């Protein structure tokens, strides 16, 4: 396999509330992401008194979205997540990328 082609590709993992699934998928597909997978999950965090006081109210129903995207598109994805989906605020979601080059197939 040609390593210089794999070096320009990243694997995105995104976890958010299930209510945002359709909007997230629409934006991700607009940015040229490939092999998009959607997995439904359920959060396991129990809300405690301290979490209530701090305003952290976990949403139980989650969506996990994974996809492969060109490395030069990662900044655009993260800007959309921060600006349009408020991923900078607590309880909105988490997203990160992994280089494909380091993965074993």
Residue range 43-56: average pLDDT?
63
Rg (CA), the chain: 15
- For 45, list phi and psi in degrees, rounded to 5: -70, 130
pLDDT at 74: 94
Tokens 């997995």 correspond to: 39
Q: What is the pLDDT of residues 82-101, one digit of tens each?
A: 999 999 988 789 999 998 87
Predicted confidence band at 38 (pLDDT cuts at 50, 70, 90)? very high
Residue 32, pLDDT > 80, answer: yes
Give the H/E segment covering residue 25. Answer: helix 21-30
> Among the residues of 45-87, which ranges form H helices?
49-54, 74-83
Residue 26, pLDDT > 90, answer: yes
Instruction: Outline where DSSP puts E strands in 43-85.
Output: 61-70
- For 92, list phi and psi in degrees, rounded to 5: -105, -35
Residue 29, pLDDT > 60, answer: yes
Domains of the chain: 3-98 (3.30.70.120)
pLDDT at 2: 55
């Amino acid at each position: 396999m040609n390593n210089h082609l794999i070096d320009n590709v990243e694997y995105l993992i995104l976890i958010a509330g299930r209510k945002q699934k359709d909007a997230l998928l629409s934006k991700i597909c607009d940015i040229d992401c490939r092999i998009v997978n959607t997995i439904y999950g359920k959060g396991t965090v129990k809300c405690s008194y301290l979490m209530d006081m701090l305003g952290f109210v976990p949403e139980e129903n989650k969506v996990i979205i994974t996809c492969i995207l060109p490395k030069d598109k990662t900044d655009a994805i993260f800007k959309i997540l921060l600006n349009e989906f408020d991923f900078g605020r607590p309880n909105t979601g988490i997203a990160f990328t992994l280089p494909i080059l380091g993965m074993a197939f």
